Homo-oligomer: A and B are copies of this chain.
Amino acid sequence: MTQSFFYIFVIMKNKPSLLTMNFSELFVPGLSVDCVIIGFEDHKLKILILKWNSDIDGWALPGGFVLKNEDLDKAAIRVLKERTGVELPFLEQFKTFGNLDRGKRNNALEKVKIDGITPEHIEWMNQRFISTGYVSLVDIKKCDPRPDILSEKIDWIALDELPNLILDHKHIVKKAISFIKNQINYLPIGITLLPERFTMKELQLLYESILEKKLDRGNFQRKMLKLDIFNRHEKHLEGGAHKAPYLYSFDHEKYNKLLEQGFSFNS
């Protein structure tokens, strides 16, 4: 749904004549991308989702179609930018969703009256779609998402508070989280989710959120520090500050080297 509305509006806005085009001339048939953008705030993982600018019920992941002359990976980056204003240089593909029971768009286009929509557009929208899921971990504070013209609002919603999502989008979110959970076992992901300087406690809370389990404080700190990817910053001894925990930042060079090698969080 989102996608159709979106492209129709974009098309109208940029090149009104394109609305007369058959979608099948513009886009790869039956293929979409959906982006699961994960942030971390108040010790919770949050997902960036859009609420319809219409009376259609439900929220959706930022998603869209793939242009015929466009790489699949690049389509995801473009779609995310167009739908949310969030620009990322890279999105990681995690799974392609191709079950027959993914759900239909049910002539959603008919529910919002848009001039120029033809039965061919609606038919194209209602074909079977296979969707490739992309994921990224981002620092919420560095993002400034804006709802696109199709959306009433855009928001970061905590995983355990997600509203009704269209199609199989909730399933897509779940699979993205599983993917991240596995990944954190061998890659020190997290650099993008934490502020520039953070405490070991904050890092632990992030890992606990992703892994959905409590970790032992002593073990966690020993393992993380052994990775040798942090800079520890001097405390400013003013007032009670000497009791404050150390602040750390990632050593980008060492961090990137470790990302290439892979590591084991459990070691």
Q: Is the CB of A128 within 8 A of B68?
A: yes
| Residues from 60 to 77 in A contacting B, C-beta threshold 8 Å | 66, 68-73, 75
21 contacts between A and B (CB under 8 A): A28-B128, A29-B29, A29-B30, A30-B30, A31-B31, A66-B98, A69-B100, A70-B100, A71-B98, A71-B100, A72-B98, A73-B99, A93-B95, A93-B96, A185-B185, A185-B186, A185-B262, A186-B266, A264-B264, A266-B266, A267-B267
Asked whether B29 lies within 8 Å of A132 as measured between CB atoms, the reply is no
Report the nearest B residue to A97, measured CB to CB.
Answer: B72
Give Cα A31–Cα B98 distance, bound, in whole angstroms: 11
A63 to chain B, nearest CB (A): 15
Q: Give how many A residues have a beta carbon under 8 Å from the other chain's beta carbons.
A: 31
Q: A96-B93, A182-B186, A186-B186 are in contact. Are A28 and B130 (CB under 8 A)?
A: yes
Question: Any chain B CB within 8 A of the CB of A265?
Answer: yes
A-B complex: 6 closest residue pairs judged by Cβ atoms = A72-B98, A264-B266, A185-B186, A96-B96, A266-B267, A264-B264
Which residues of B are found within 8 Å of A66, using beta-carbon distances?
98
Specify how many copies of this chain sit in the oligomer. Answer: 2
Closest chain B CB from A162 CB (angstroms): 24
Query: Which residues of chain B are within 8 angstroms of A31 by Cβ–Cβ distance?
Result: 30-31, 98, 130
A263 part of interface (Cβ distance < 8 Å): yes
Q: Which residues of chain B are within 8 angstroms of A99 by Cβ–Cβ distance?
A: 71-73
B262/A264 in contact, CB under 8 A: no
Bound-state CA distance A93–B130 (Å) is 14
Measured between beta carbons, the chain B residues less than 8 angstroms from A73 are 98-99
Interface string of A70-104 (1 = CB under 8 A from B): 11110100000000000000000101111110000
